[in-house]
Amino acid sequence: MFLVTTSFQKRVAQSEIAQKTARRSMLAVLTATFCLSAALIISYSTYSVAFAGTAASAALTPATGQWQASYDTVNVRSGPGTNSGIIGQVHKGDIIQAKAKNANGWYQIAWKGGTGWIAGWCVKAYQQSSTASGQSGTQNASRGLTADIISIAKRFLGKPYSYGANGPSSFDCSGFVRYVYSLWGVNLPRVANDQARAGQKVSPSVPGDLVFFSDRKDGYITHVGIYVGNNSFIHAASFKGVTITSLDDSWYKSRYVGARRIL
């Protein structure tokens, strides 16, 4: 009886040892499988991120030329998509300078000294018209751009004058000029006296030329406006706000200093 019991106990003990060994082996297999799966997931995620980054970079291609807004109002956004915030607007006929294009048809454009994004389906290629006199495409393009500057400027007619104001609800003279040009992607100095050093010196003849005035003996520039043609200019006047005035006006004629061409 004693021998039978001892033999039985040995078999039970051996069975328990075998079960423990099997459980340990299974645990080791599960642990190895888990680690391998985790490694594969991490590797896949890293590859996916790297691939996505590469694809995004590759999708952005350089774009040159000028484009025109096709609709009455087109939103300019901070990024290439309708989920990106609206940072401004352009209007039908406005000319836009493209910098790059992504795979989804969004254009990166020059915007207020920086960049913005506009949907490609909201713009069309800007067509430069030729003239019988044989003027160069560059001259025609310049006229198109300056005409657009004037159309932008005239949108603010009647806005009040406020010293130091940068727009768009109110302006001072140099703030108005700087704001209008910034809407086309041209970054001008803030102060009229510094703006008088930008571009090239000309006699005002092309809409968009800047005209300067001084009421000081030392010639320091105290007022600036944008020439609109017909011997007139648009500006933010201290008592009238944004208005159009003739260069033959006695006050301005006696204080006229000169003009500069930016475009």
**Which residues does the annotation mark as catalytic?**
173, 223, 235
Cβ-proximal residues to 235 (8 Å cutoff; 6+ apart), any chain: 173, 176, 177, 223, 224, 225, 226, 242, 243, 245
What is residue 5's three-state secondary structure?
Answer: helix
Rounded to whole angstroms, how far apart are CA atoms 186 and 116? 13
AA identity, residue 209: D
Residues near 238 by Cβ (< 8 Å), separated by ≥ 6?
A: 161, 163
- Give the phi and the psi of residue 23 in degrees, each rounded to 5: -65, -40
Residue count of the chain: 263
CB atoms inside a 10 Å sphere around CB 155: 13
**How much of the chain is in helix, strand and coil states, percent to nearest 5?**
35, 30, 35
DSSP H or E run through 73: strand 73-77
DSSP, residue by residue, 84-134: SPEEEEEETT-EEEEEEE-TTSEEEEEETTEEEEEEGGGEEEPPPPP-TT-
Please answer whether residues 59 and 102 qualify as being in contact, where contact means their C-beta atoms are separated by less than 8 angstroms.
yes
d(CA 117, CA 111): 9
